[in-house]
Structure 1
Amino acid sequence: MGVVGMGIRGRMYAAIAQALPEVELTGVCDIAEDARLAAADEFAVPVFEDVQTMCEQAGPEAVVIATPDFAHVGPTLAAIEAGRHVLVEKPLATEVDAARRICDAAEAAGIRGMVAFENHWNPPLSAMKSAAEAGQLGELVSCNSQLDDRIDVPTEYLRWLGRSSPGWFLMSHTVELAGWIAGQRPVEVQARGHTGVLSALGLETYDAIHAVVVFDGGMVGSFSSCWVLPRSLPLAFQFRHEMVGTGGSARADLTDQMLHLAAERYEHPATIGVTMGGSLSSPPALMFAEFVRALAEGRDPPCPLGDGLLNVAAIAAIHSSIETRRAVEVRV
């Protein structure tokens, strides 16, 4: 296994790979020299500046793409061209044409691909999916989803987010999640966005996006994402997701992470959706393990690249709706 991008997510994947006995981490890749040096020290594996060289010299059978949102396409296509299966962070791309190129290239090369929609392995949300499949909610007609970040996420932790948006970084999670739970595809969106807070700090991106999404089974979803929440909040994000049907409703609130810690300061330490010390019980670790298992068994993994393409089309339509102030059809 090779990993491209030695930021927060890339180092997480590398740690998971080294914790799985059936996986060998053969190399990692990053364009930044300081990131390569740190990775060589942390993981004690060969480090590379480009994907092609890593594939040629380290010989991974599969590659994880954990670069920033805007930088998924080049490394993914390079890995596919080298004949490697790919696990790509969401969003698959930030343009529909680019996402389609990835899908077409993978199909032509016989490559298995997966998009990192890790909430499929998030226990409360996985349970919500099970309830929907069991018919406990009836016909799903409405969804309300809120996923936000504190302002220090784009301004301090991930400065590259100035080249992304709450749509690409956050709403790509929630729109896909709603469609997966309901078994429905997004077909039309209407959205509005706010700018000003982050642009005043030198980050030319939206502060907040609100979108209404219509799905092909008739469900209507309301989605909101911002990343200008105050630093005083005890957790870096807040996440609430509700599905309503003709037979019932289900609501998950992951905001307090089920742990309230009061010491020198009051906080809600992250307990869901993170990997600590190579733990294999977190959603990303479970997702990664399923990717590995699918490849070992010679089958297509869940969350295929085509689902990533649809997700890109939905988020692109949201941005188009903001710009045109009109309803926009989701087109792949």
Structure 2
Amino acid sequence: MTHLPKLRVGIIGAGIMGRGHAEVLTAHPDVELTAVSRSPLGEAAVYSDYRDLIASGTVDAVSITTPDHLHADMMVAAARAGLHILVEKPFTTTVADADRAVAAIREAGVIAMCLFNHRWVPAYAQAKQQMELVGEPVVGYARKDDTIYVPTEMIRWADQTSCAWFLSSHDIDLLSWLYDDRVVEVFATARHGKLRGMGIETPDAMQIQARFSRGAVATFESAWIYPNTFPTMVDSYVTVVGEDGVIQLDRQKENIQVATAKGYAYPRNMLQRVVHGVPAGAYRDAIHHFVDCARTGTEPLISVESSRDVTAVLAAAHESARTGLPVRLA
């Protein structure tokens, strides 16, 4: 059997997600983390500019973990250099950026994947397998709400994105996958107030009504002003109603509860956890899938075209929220 060389990976962006990617990648037996941009991570070489990292000749692939609005230029540059690309969600924050990234990726023939890691949550993957039992999708609902810690403390660029870009991107990808369909029209509303009053120009909450090409509908709710006393940082729930049944997915409680003098919590473990010193969970599994695809030249489960469609839905939703009118997708 032919032995494949290790995949040399550079990480562009060394914040929370960059450190998460580094933890998973350094533990992978077939990966060598060789370069990072700006901030040191392990023993990898540090480059002050992502362009220098891409041109260094020390990487076969890049992992892009920068703020949402910076992804496109980095993907285009990496693709033109012949590098494989793993990018955090959302793919981009404009359709024009998404289209030029897809074009560059397909022209270069590199492997690329947006890290919509929810497809690797066991219950969600099982739901995909069970969709035939509930029949043709009719209506769905996906809620993903964060505590106010996220836009005020966890990320410093909340005014460059929104709760919908940050949260509903996951759910739009997930329901589109479960439905095996594409959104063709949206109507959305946004509420400003609390965060604006704190000097952060971004909506407190958004709700998106989406119609799919075969007639099914779905509601995508996102907010990030839950009080920090809420027992989980994220409140996540999904339901899909079909002609013959219903699937419900409640991810708030993840099989462990902890009570201390400081409060009551449900520690998260489905996406990211460490088991006996080894990274595990859907986040790790999704990154490993990309590594396998990049090493073998196999197309990932998540196509860049489907990730472009998520961007198109969210761009239309923000336009609808601005105008108060429904928006059809091209």
TM-score calculated relative to the size of structure 1: 0.93
Aligned pairs for 1:292-303 (under 5 A) are 292-303=291-302
Q: Deviations 1:42-69 (Å, cap 9, x if unpaired)? A: x121111122211333521111111011
Percent of matched pairs sharing the same residue = 32
Native 8 Å contact 1:280 1:286 kept in 2: no
Q: Deviations 1:168-197 (Å, cap 9, x if unpaired)? A: 101111111101011010110011010011
Q: Deviations 1:275-308 (Å, cap 9, x if unpaired)? A: 4377443111101111111122222112121111
Aligned pairs for 1:265-280 (under 5 A) are 265-276=263-274, 279-280=278-279
Native 8 Å contact 1:26 1:58 kept in 2: no
Q: In the alignment, which residue of structure 1 is the partner of 2:112?
A: 113
Task: Tell me, yes or no, if structure 1 residue 2 matches structure 2 residue 1.
Answer: no
SS in 2 for 1:198: helix
**Greater share of strand:** 2
| Structure 2 CA distance for aligned equivalents of residues 326 and 171 of structure 1 | 20
Q: In the alignment, which residue of structure 1 is the partner of 2:260?
A: 263
| Structure 2 CA distance for aligned equivalents of residues 52 and 16 of structure 1 | 24
Q: Deviations 1:240-278 (Å, cap 9, x if unpaired)? A: 000111111110111122221112221111111114377
Native 8 Å contact 1:279 1:285 kept in 2: no
| Structure 2 CA distance for aligned equivalents of residues 50 and 73 of structure 1 | 15
Native 8 Å contact 1:148 1:225 kept in 2: yes
Task: Tell me, yes or no, if structure 1 residue 237 matches structure 2 residue 261.
Answer: no
| Structure 2 CA distance for aligned equivalents of residues 279 and 227 of structure 1 | 31
* Runs of 4+ deviating beyond 2 Å: 55-58, 275-281
The letter for the 1-side match of 2:109 is G
Q: In the alignment, which residue of structure 2 is the partner of 1:27?
A: 35
| Structure 1 CA distance for aligned equivalents of residues 197 and 300 of structure 2 | 43
Name which of 225, 228, 235 aligns with 1:228. Answer: 225
Q: Deviations 1:14-58 (Å, cap 9, x if unpaired)? A: 11111010111111113xxxxx1xx24xx1211111222113335
The letter for the 2-side match of 1:157 is M
Native 8 Å contact 1:51 1:79 kept in 2: no
5+ residue gaps, structure 1, are 31-35
| Structure 2 CA distance for aligned equivalents of residues 258 and 235 of structure 1 | 13
How many aligned positions are there?
A: 320
SS in 1 for 2:168: helix
Measured after TM superposition, the shift of residue 166 of structure 1 is: 1.1
Q: In the alignment, which residue of structure 2 is the partner of 1:149?
A: 146
SS in 1 for 2:86: strand
Measured after TM superposition, the shift of residue 198 of structure 1 is: 0.4
Native 8 Å contact 2:23 2:279 kept in 1: no
Q: In the alignment, which residue of structure 2 is the partner of 1:171?
A: 168
| Structure 1 CA distance for aligned equivalents of residues 181 and 235 of structure 2 | 25
Measured after TM superposition, the shift of residue 203 of structure 1 is: 0.6
Task: Tell me, yes or no, if structure 1 residue 291 matches structure 2 residue 290.
Answer: yes
The letter for the 1-side match of 2:14 is M
Q: In the alignment, which residue of structure 2 is the partner of 1:33?
A: none
The letter for the 1-side match of 2:107 is A
Q: In the alignment, which residue of structure 2 is the partner of 1:192?
A: 189
| Structure 2 CA distance for aligned equivalents of residues 68 and 44 of structure 1 | 24
